[in-house]
Structure 1
Amino acid sequence: MGKLPQPDVELARKVLPATLLEAIRHVFRQGVSGCMLVGGTALAGYYAGHRRSDDMDLCTRDPDSQKAAALAVESLAPAGYAVTVVQRTPQYFKTVCRSGEGPFTIDVSLHQHLFSVAKAVSAEDGVAVADIETLLRLKAAALVSRCSEKDLYDLLWLLPRFEEMDLPKLVGLARSLDAGASPEGLLISVLGARLDEESCAFATDPAKDKKAVYREILLLRDWLKKGLQRLAGDQPVPPLGELVRKIRRFL
């Protein structure tokens, strides 16, 4: 496997809304341990720069880390943010924050198992960002329940970064976080996904309008559908290179 991308703080500064980025950095300046930035903001902001993202998703290692992360988020209020708590349980904390550039959400989730298989990288700005394999693992697991336009677009960026990646390995990564991530379970989710072209206007590349993004994620869905059907039937699956070649024909 070649060298995988590392967090890029200059990319984060260019791609993420300034108030969101400062909020992320503020939270991690509070010295919370056992907490990592995940989701689309981690991927788009610190690695890919491929799409817009305007929320903060944090995963925590244990109950103490969960409490500390929630307090760090609430400390945004005296720092000038309007913080509205939407939900608070021992496992989950959700807020809506407002400051200047519009509102954004912060989700803090206790995910003890994630920390047994995942790794965070400390970026130069002090933010603990999930490494690129962890983000792929999370995106693969998300296919079980969500399979959204953004999830598929993120996978399109992630998959070619792993030279040895194939569909059985992707299913294995998903299963490492969700025992229900069988080929059959993933296939049901992929087949049931209702993708909407109007929801695809999020690429940062000005040459990629919503129609182009929609076309690419449909190709990925078709590749997943074909491969999962074969995998469930214990048949050879289409290689990742087949998908990459199809997408490149449109570029």
Structure 2
Amino acid sequence: MTDFLDRLTPWQREVLSAFFEREQGFYLTGGAALVGYHIGHRETLDLDLFTTDAEAFERGRYVLTDLAAALGAELSIRQDAPGFRRVVLTRDGEGLVVDLVIERVPQATPTKLVIDGVRVDPVFEILANKLCAVVGRAEERDIVDLWALEQSGLRVED
């Protein structure tokens, strides 16, 4: 399942590793989970770290500050709203958008995978989320992800 980790940038992999060494109350979902851990079909520019735990969400801000210092990165806050926090971690001219999100929707698959210390959303959960995303925001990447999931053998009908 980790055959696709090279589809994530070294900076993305380093941030994921550092984050999950410090905090296990989140899980990776969205494009980075699909690209790095499930089907490796495209590149992704951000990391979507979700939690269902409000306390973990609050800890997340401190975890990002700590890991930025430990990795020699600059952290800039782009958005800080109830249940959503977007930061950019920049090091050596390479920026990485990291979103921390409280997931308020019940999970179809509440048990997450743990791969090399990183908690990852199962592919079925990502499929369900992508279907909702297509209806809600209709971004090209969501259509590409649904197509790739279908091509990998995961059927929407399932």
TM-score by length of 2: 0.89
Question: Which of 121, 133, 142 is matched with 2:133 structurally?
Answer: 142
Match of 1:98 in 2: 90
Unaligned runs of 5+ in 1: 1-6, 170-251
Deviation at 1:77, TM superposition (A): 2.0
Question: Which of 138, 142, 145 is matched with 1:151 structurally?
Answer: 142
Deviation at 1:118, TM superposition (A): 3.7
Matches within 5 A, 1:1-251: 7-8=1-2, 10-12=3-5, 14-33=6-25, 35-79=26-70, 80-100=72-92, 102-115=94-107, 117-123=109-115, 125-160=116-151, 161-162=153-154, 165-166=156-157
Whether the aligned pair in 2 keeps the contact of 1:69 and 1:108 (CA below 8 Å) is: yes
Deviation at 1:83, TM superposition (A): 0.6
Q: Which whole-Å deviations, capped at 9, do the CAs of 1:8-39 have from their partners, x for residues lacking one?
A: 1x421x11110111001111110332x11011
Residue correspondences, number: 156
More helix by share: 1
Q: SS of the counterpart of 1:76?
A: helix
**Identity percentage of aligned residues:** 26
Deviation at 1:51, TM superposition (A): 0.5
Within 1, Cα distance between the matches of 2:53 and 2:41?
32
Match of 1:225 in 2: none
Whether the aligned pair in 1 keeps the contact of 2:24 and 2:119 (CA below 8 Å) is: no
Greater gyration radius: 1
TM-score by length of 1: 0.58
Moved over 3 A (4+): 114-119
Q: SS of the counterpart of 2:4?
A: helix
Within 2, Cα distance between the matches of 1:116 and 1:85?
31
Unaligned runs of 5+ in 2: none
